[in-house]
Structure 1
Amino acid sequence: MKNIAIWGASSGLGAAMVDYFHQQGVNVIAIARQPKNNPKINDYQLTSICCDATVQTQVEAAVSKLPDNTINISTMGSFRSNIPVDYIGHRHLINALENSKAKRLLLVTSLGCGDSWQYLSQGAKRGFGAAVREKSLAEAWLQSSNLNYTILRPGGLKDGEPTNQGQLSQQIEVHGAITRGEVARLSHELLLNDGSTGQIFQCIDPNIAAY
């Protein structure tokens, strides 16, 4: 694992991914609308790329700068944004990667996406159901692409380092929370496992309260 591009690297889960993979000695390429919002990108002297993923030409330009065989992780999201990136940004990214030599993508969405929508409470559907539906569209676009993809749906995200207690599962109903650092660690685990290609996983940490 030589080069990893983190999309959405300026805050939240993306910033946690930057920390984790940098600490693993991986060459991290940080991509965000405003990379300067994450001061560690500069502190770590990482390559950064400014990109508004809702603009197709900017995504294509960013992808063109990636070394061949770069592994991509996308944590992009825009809860209650005027122009949600969750679907259109990922559609632009997936299309651009299909025409590149960096065809490995781990897409991080959330519990409730795709076939797990049925397990969301009515309150959750009212509160952030629109974002989940956008992310579900992104999952569908990715699944119909020619990329070597993995989809990861974490539970409620909490600040925190890796706990080594997170659990990956497939095709069962789960509820719960997990630290951003632990999602990063589990992402690394999936990327090291060739059997994760073309698969959808969910993850929670049973030792962390959801509320």
Structure 2
Amino acid sequence: MKKLTLLSLICIMFLTALEKPSKVVPFLRPIVSGLAEHTNVPVLLPAYWKGQKAKKHTSVIVNAYENGYMIYFVSTDKPYRANDPAIYHPPESKRVGELSGNVGTMIPSDRLSGLVFYKKKDGAKLWIQPWIRSVIYAKRGPWSMHFDGDNGDEPYQQAVDLFKAMKKVNWLKNKDIHEGYISVIGTRLDAYTNIAWDTGDGFVYNFFYKGPIKNAVKIVDSLQYVEYKP
């Protein structure tokens, strides 16, 4: 009897080892097949997610159509299934992120007129608004960046935080990015960070996140393609 029990346990462990665990964050796993089935756009989903507060949950509203998909991330007091009517029309304070993919190409982000060259940092060239100095434009490789801190040295600190986070992920060079744009407004710890990129083969992705800049970058770095499995 003991031998049979031990053999069964070994078989279970072997079969478990053969399974490929889903790398998508747990609260998004139920939507993977349905989302990938209803759009022609290759679906990217995160394997990492950091919510606003430790005790808060993240629920999602999902829209999929032929040439794109959109996921709204909502901070909730308890977990809800995707597209639960209870999480529709949330107040702005509850919307903590968006992720979309669409057929198309990016419109290049040109430097605003009136900005003057400031300095070069971490391989990026920076231009500033010479009077108020609350706006910085930066360019590095395929990335155009815009920082708007509204007060003091906030835009400079935003740039420092973003460059530090991007450096840790090698400026997302392992991702399929032909041209990218990053916009950061607000404060560093509660920033509104928008990261958009063009894959160069007809698809554009956009990720918006409210929270620390480093978390936005880590989430984008964790994005992986998923497949429809009937």
Q: TM-score, normalised by structure 2?
A: 0.25
Query: In terms of Rg, which structure is larger?
Result: 2
Higher relative contact order (CA 8 A, sep 6+): 2
Q: Which has the higher strand share?
A: 2
